[in-house]
């Protein structure tokens, strides 16, 4: 494993839960990040799914020093370069095209490709990645699928996302090849829209508590 990968693996292991942030209004970025950090959740995946995503990530980096900001929904080499330029600490993709894997292997950004099948996983392994996002986790076969992948690929560690929430997060975290879980349940669209920062902090506190017990 390369040192940039070791960095990402260590980040996942210490975080255990990683919120997937979709920020539509720039002014929500900093209070949202503060709410997550207050709840004990520091590793944040800001997805490139909205027009303000890059500025939102920059605002969080500038104003919330305790947040460890990464970029999610990285789809190609340009997205990867944008993440590196803005000072992200890590990058995550829902998938793994050959072009993206090549660019990520050449970049200094700690990066987790997304996989849902053995063949995708093997492509990621061929580019030197051993820590991966399993996406969409529940929809792609859930824990049974992940256990099946552990057979031929014991060296791979996962952060599953997709369909994970407060109730099933501890079950996923109890799997030996799961180092963290991610998802949008920690900062739901309805709470962001209404500015329910206290509700987001409370959700984080509950999840962190149950993750520690898992
Ligand atoms: C992701 O990019 O990881 C997913 O959108 C998260 O899925 P969820 O919304 O089901 O948590």
Domain ranges of the chain: 3-213
| Residue list, ligand 1 pocket, CB within 6 Å | 20, 72, 94, 135, 161-164, 182-185
What residue owns the CA closest to ligand 1's atom 11? 183
Q: Which fold has domain 3-213?
A: TIM Barrel (3.20.20)
* Mean pLDDT along residues 127-131: 97
Tell me, yes or no, if 133 is annotated catalytic. yes
Strands, E, within 4-94: which ranges? 17-21, 43-47, 68-72, 90-92
Cβ neighbours around 212 below 10 Å, total: 12
Q: Decide if pLDDT at 213 tops 90.
A: no
Q: Which of 12, 136, 187, 188 to mutate to test the pocket of ligand 1 (most atoms within 8 A of CB)?
A: 136
What residue owns the CA closest to ligand 1's atom 7? 162
Q: Predicted confidence band at 88 (pLDDT cuts at 50, 70, 90)?
A: very high
* Cα-only R_g, the chain: 16
Q: Which of 20, 116, 138, 168 to mutate to test the pocket of ligand 1 (most atoms within 8 A of CB)?
A: 20
Tell me, yes or no, if 205 is annotated catalytic. no
Cα(197)–Cα(199) distance, rounded to whole angstroms?
A: 5
Q: What pLDDT, in 10s, does the model give residues 33-69?
A: 999 999 999 999 999 999 999 999 999 999 999 999 9
H/E stretch holding 114: strand 114-115
pTM over 0.85: yes
Which one, of 72, 73, 11, lies nearest residue 42 by Cα?
11
Place of tokens 């256990």: 147
Q: Predicted confidence band at 214 (pLDDT cuts at 50, 70, 90)?
A: confident
Span from the CA of 26 to the centroid of ligand 1 (angstroms): 20
138 CA: nearest ligand 1 atom: 10
Q: Predicted confidence band at 212 (pLDDT cuts at 50, 70, 90)?
A: confident
Q: Predicted confidence band at 110 (pLDDT cuts at 50, 70, 90)?
A: very high
Q: Decide if pLDDT at 2 tops 90.
A: no
* pLDDT for residue 69: 98
- Looking at every residue in the chain, the average pLDDT score rounds to 97
């Amino acid at each position: 494993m390369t040192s940039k990968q070791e960095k990402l693996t260590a980040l996942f292991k210490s975080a255990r839960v990683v919120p997937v942030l979709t920020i539509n209004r720039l002014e929500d970025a900093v209070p949202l990040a503060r709410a997550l950090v207050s709840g004990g959740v520091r590793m944040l995946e800001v997805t490139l799914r909205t027009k303000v995503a890059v500025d939102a990530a920059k605002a969080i980096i500038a104003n919330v020093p305790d947040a460890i900001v990464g970029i999610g929904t990285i789809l190609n080499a340009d997205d990867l370069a944008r993440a590196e330029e803005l000072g992200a600490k890590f990058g995550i993709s829902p998938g793994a095209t050959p072009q993206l894997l090549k660019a990520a292997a050449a970049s200094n950004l700690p990066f987790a490709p997304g996989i849902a099948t053995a063949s995708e996983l093997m492509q990621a392994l061929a580019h030197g990645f051993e820590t991966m996002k399993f996406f969409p986790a529940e929809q792609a076969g859930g824990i049974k699928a992940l256990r099946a992948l552990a057979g031929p690929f014991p060296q791979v560690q996962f952060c599953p996302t997709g369909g994970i929430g407060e109730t099933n997060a501890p079950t996923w975290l109890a799997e030996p090849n799961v180092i963290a879980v991610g998802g949008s349940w920690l900062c739901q669209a309805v709470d962001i829209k209404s500015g329910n920062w206290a509700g987001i902090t409370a959700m984080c506190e509950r999840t962190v508590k149950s993750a520690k017990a898992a």
